[in-house]
Structure 1
């Protein structure tokens, strides 16, 4: 499972960077954009995700590099990235739900963000919780 999670993280974290680059350059075709894409309030809402998505991507890419080097600090950083990614997807799904906007073009990627990290988060937190604390026999 960890191998699959790492592969999905790499694609996702690079995707975060690509999405904001494409968005910043105005390259999303209008027919692919979400409802009211040009509305200034929606533009601000969309850009508000920069502050969760880029840290998720940065911590994810850093964790993958650390894990590849065998560093024990890669695992906690991976957990941070996965939690941020889940939160990002959940925030978007909650927004689209409250708005009553059920476009699969935006729901599918955000459901992916919300759900793909869950098995690894559970596994990592259960494994951590069942290990004895440092200093305890």
Structure 2
């Protein structure tokens, strides 16, 4: 299970960086943008995710590197990254729910952010064998 999670994390964490790069350069076509994209308040809301998304991405990529090197702290950092990723998706879904905006183009990626980390979070946060 963690092998699949690692692949999904890599894609997601790189995706966070790419998304904010594309957004910052204004490369999202208007027809792909979320409702109210040109509204300065909505733009601020979108940019408010920069910190959590980049922190999730940085901790995720660092955890993958640490795990590749055999470091025990890699799984702890992976848990932090997955929780941040899930929180980011949850925040966006909660916002769109409150606004009554149900665009699949924005719901699906955020549901993905919310759901894919769950199995690994349960595994990583679960009981550990007591050394004996």
Please say whether Structure 1 and Structure 2 have the same fold, judged by a TM-score greater than 0.5: yes
Indicate the TM-score class for this superposition, using the shorter chain for normalisation.
over 0.9
How many residues in Structure 1 have an aligned counterpart in Structure 2? 132
Q: State the 1:119 CA deviation.
A: 0.4
Q: State the 1:131 CA deviation.
A: 2.6
CA distance in 2, matches of 1:118, 1:85: 10
Tell me the equivalent position of 2:129. Answer: 131
Q: State the 1:28 CA deviation.
A: 0.2
Superposed CA offset, 1:82-128 (max 9, x none): 000000000000000000000000000000000000000001111xx
Structure 1 spans left out of the alignment, 5+ residues: none
Q: TM-score of the superposition, structure 2-length normalised?
A: 0.98
Q: Any runs of at least 4 consecutive aligned residues in structure 1 with deviations exceeding 3 A, and if so which? A: none
CA distance in 2, matches of 1:5, 1:130: 19
Tell me the equivalent position of 1:26. Answer: 26
CA distance in 2, matches of 1:29, 1:104: 16
CA distance in 1, matches of 2:78, 2:129: 18
Tell me the equivalent position of 2:91. Answer: 91
Q: State the 1:130 CA deviation.
A: 3.8
Tell me the equivalent position of 2:68. Answer: 68
Q: Within 5 Å, which residues of 2 pair with 1:3-42?
A: 3-42=3-42
CA distance in 1, matches of 2:3, 2:51: 27
Tell me the equivalent position of 1:121. Answer: 121
Tell me the equivalent position of 1:110. Answer: 110
CA distance in 1, matches of 2:118, 2:44: 28
Q: State the 1:38 CA deviation.
A: 0.7
CA distance in 2, matches of 1:130, 1:79: 14
Structure 2 spans left out of the alignment, 5+ residues: none
